[in-house]
A = this chain, B = another copy of it.
Amino acid sequence: MTTFLDLCRSAIGADYVVTDDADMASYLIDWRRRFSGNALAVVKPANTEEVAAIVRLCNQFRVPVVPQGGNTGLVLGSVPDDSGTAIVMSLVRLNRIRAIDTVNNTMTAEAGCILENIQNAAAEAARLFPLSLAAEGSCTIGGNLATNAGGTGVLRYGNARELCLGLEVVTPQGEIWSSLRGLRKDNTGYDLRDLFIGAEGTLGIITAAVLKLFPQPKAQLTALAAMQTPEDALRLLTMTQNHCGAGLTGFELMSDFCLQLVSKHYPQMRPPFAQDHAQYVLLELSDNESEEHAVALLEAFIGDALEAGIIQDAIVAASIAQSKALWNLREHIPLAQAEEGKNIKHDISVPISSIGQFIQSTDVQLQQQFPGCRMVTFGHLGDGNLHYNVSPPAGDSADAFIAQQAAVNRVVHDSANRYGGSISAEHGVGALKRKEIRDYKSAVEMALMQSIKQAIDPLNLMNPGKVV
């Protein structure tokens, strides 16, 4: 492999072919620090041509490639296995915003751009790039697209897939395919763009993308509503959508126990109500007119919802600080759960109309099999996507509970499947769920996926061991 690495060094410069164990370590360990792999080298090309040159060398020497952006994935999709035969291809040096077109409402950005930088660049051009998720300060747009990232803006703006008009991709043969045209309509052949999006680097390496921009809303209002059941939250969702249409840009469910955990570990953060309620919804309204218009609209349907008995209480944030405080409640749930100790996470989706039944019946099954386990149920209700997490019974050994992870997963994923749902709504498959998806997908679907993988990457060099 010396020849291979030497050729890599010639192609992109010796400084960018990292082989020192200490220097490689952060590229080899996953975000949640559950798994660390090995690699021949971490290579850091500067541009698309260098990515292509490295991939051609990988072809020639049959070296597997693991593409990596911010390495913030949750399913072991961006770290290599422990064989040490692959290279990690870090895209972080491809970090230029190539163009912003405020009439076409598009931005052309390289794969290694950090999501937050893209949001900021859009804002500087008086536009909105609405993809928003917890890791936005360190994840990259290439990774967001490779995993079809979700987040809190999906309800209005869709997943990462819906925010992309075109891609530049290095194919497994080291050729460059580009559809960076910024077109909203183009029906001239197969949808290669959406095939690469969500393929987690197993069909090619995304090196740049044209992203959709939107007008910045004139006002954004946040409110917290309290209700008795997830079904009531669904009623509020339908009511809000009828009133506000596309103005509803966030709708996050949080159970009372979630907020209890937050208050326990971050005592300054409490729900702003006199009494506790069983469920809460954080909702966000964006308005193209004015603050006053948004306030009037929100207060009107909150009044209606109170009157109809759908909700028991509600508060509308009166300032940006108050709004941040409400979002902080939501964003600190995973952190509070981590403070509480180890736990078992899920990222399921079901049809929105089945969410109430899913929660009810799965809660019962888990209590039967794992008595006392504590449900930390929250998530993107408006998308049918819950982070339906399970903490050990109070006082129990976390490790003993975690040892049952496979059995807990099975209950939750079987239940999601029974309601026509997905076992990975927004986190992807990676290496973590690669075997498990076969339990839920038909043989026809697996065969179609495998035939595509075989056709596009016949040597199986692109992120092998992930997805298919």
Contact = CB atoms under 8 A, between A and B. Distances in A.
A428 B187 contact: yes
Interface string A443-462: 01100110111111000000
Contacts of A37: none
Nearest to A202: B190
Interface in A162-214: 162, 171, 175-179, 181-192, 194-195, 197-199, 203, 214
B176 A101 contact: no
B441 A188 contact: yes
Contact of A189 (B102, B103, B190, B429): B429
A437 interface: yes
Contacts of A186: 349, 422, 424-425
A245 interface: yes
Nearest to A423: B188
A104 B198 contact: no
A150 B351 CA distance: 26
A157 to B, nearest CB: 10
Given A104-B352, A288-B245, A191 B197 contact: yes
B184 A352 contact: yes
Contacts of A162: 158, 162
A187 B455 contact: no
A62 to B, nearest CB: 20
Nearest to A384: B184
Nearest to A419: B181
Among A181, A185, A426, A467, which residue has the most Cβ atoms of chain B within 10 A? A185
Contacts of A195: 190-191, 194-195, 452
A188 B297 CA distance: 38
17 contacts: A147-B187, A150-B185, A156-B246, A171-B444, A183-B420, A184-B352, A185-B349, A185-B385, A187-B429, A188-B422, A188-B423, A188-B424, A189-B441, A190-B467, A192-B449, A194-B194, A245-B246
Interface of A: 101-106, 147-148, 150, 154, 156, 158-159, 161-162, 171, 175-179, 181-192, 194-195, 197-199, 203, 214-215, 217, 234, 238, 241-247, 286, 288-289, 297, 349-354, 380, 383-385, 420-429, 433, 437, 440-442, 444-445, 448-449, 451-456, 467-468
